[in-house]
Amino acid sequence: MIYLPSLEGPIWNVVDASNGNLITKVTTNSGAHNTIYALDGSRVYLGGLHYNYLLVADPSTNKVVEKVGPFADVVRPFTVDGSNSRCYVNVNGLLGFEVGDIKTGKELAKVTVQGFQMGPVKRHGCPSHGIALSPDEKEIWLADGPNNYVHVFDNTVMPPKQIADIKTSDMPGWMFMTIDGKYVIPSSGDIIDSKTRKIVYTLHDETGAQLQSEKIVEIDFKNGKPVRNNDQFGVGQKR
């Protein structure tokens, strides 16, 4: 089953992945955009560009059953943990993120980046447009568009605590985490060692131009066959 957002439209199309047939439509009137399917398949998280709540749908009924918020502004990039307990949300006008309790629907914390000022960004119109959990969920990695930085937060405390700041070669507009958690790849194309917090390489294409992307998927192979994959949303892997 695929939950397919209509770009900033009123609905999510629910599609049969085996044949492409439309199963139903979920109407939210929230500006359908970023979408995350829970690790256990029990929930689908629906982020709308025109709404300051994160909506939660039940794919067994294709109905919205919960909402988390309200947050300070509309929901931009977000991620969730592996146990469907917490969400971590970027919003307009905040260099930082907000934390929501999925079980109660309440906001738990608003976290602002310390030591850096908010300013203009090249794209997206959002100061922090990109957030990811480490696979063990102990850390949060956050994009800082105005300053071309990535900030790291300790997620073992509440509110999460800022512990590292890493200068990137260009504006980060998304955060990608490798399956093993060893590397973090902001959309600037910088490859960051998650332990040393150092950039170990910057991606370039066959012409030598810097290679940047906000949409990355890692596929691991064994004996020539794909055995596991992740996606670009930096979802926590603890269940």
Of 155, 172, 154, the closest CA to residue 163 belongs to 154
- Which 3-state string (H, E, C) describes the chain? CEEEECCCCCEEEEECCCCCCEEEEEECCCCEEEEEECCCCCCEEEEECCCCCEEEEECCCCEEEEEECCCCCCEEEEEECCCCCEEEEEECCCCEEEEEECCCCCEEEEEECCCCCCCCCCCCCCCCCCEEECCCCCEEEEEECCCCEEEEEECCCCCCEEEEEEECCCCCCCEEECCCCCEEEECCCEEEECCCCCEEEECECCCCCECCCCCCCCEEEECCEEEEECCCCCCCCCC
Query: How much is the pLDDT for 121?
Result: 96
User: Is the distance from CB of 230 to CB of 237 less than 8 angstroms?
Assistant: no
Query: How much is the pLDDT for 239?
Result: 81
Report d(CA 146, CA 234) in Å as an integer.
Answer: 21
Backbone φ, ψ for residue 120 (5° rounding): -70, 155
Instruction: Please list the residue range(s) of the chain that carry CATH number 2.130.10.10.
Output: 71-239
- Fold entry, domain 71-239: Methylamine Dehydrogenase; Chain H (2.130.10)
Q: Would the pTM of this model clear 0.85, i.e. be above it? A: yes
* Averaged pLDDT for residues 18-27: 98
Query: How much is the pLDDT for 154?
Result: 98
CATH (one of 2.40.10, 2.30.30, 2.60.40, 3.30.1050) for 1-68: 2.40.10
User: Is the distance from CB of 81 to CB of 238 less than 8 angstroms?
Assistant: yes
Instruction: Please list the residue range(s) of the chain that carry CATH number 2.40.10.
Output: 1-68
Structure confidence by residue, pLDDT tens digits, 51-98: 999 999 999 999 999 999 999 999 999 999 999 999 999 999 999 999
Structure confidence by residue, pLDDT tens digits, 135-187: 999 999 999 999 999 999 999 999 999 999 999 999 999 999 999 999 999 99
Alpha-carbon dihedral sign for residues 158, 163, 165, 166:
negative
Query: How much is the pLDDT for 235?
Result: 96
In percent, the amount of the chain with pLDDT more than 70 equals: 100
Structure confidence by residue, pLDDT tens digits, 198-209: 999 999 999 999
Query: How much is the pLDDT for 33?
Result: 97
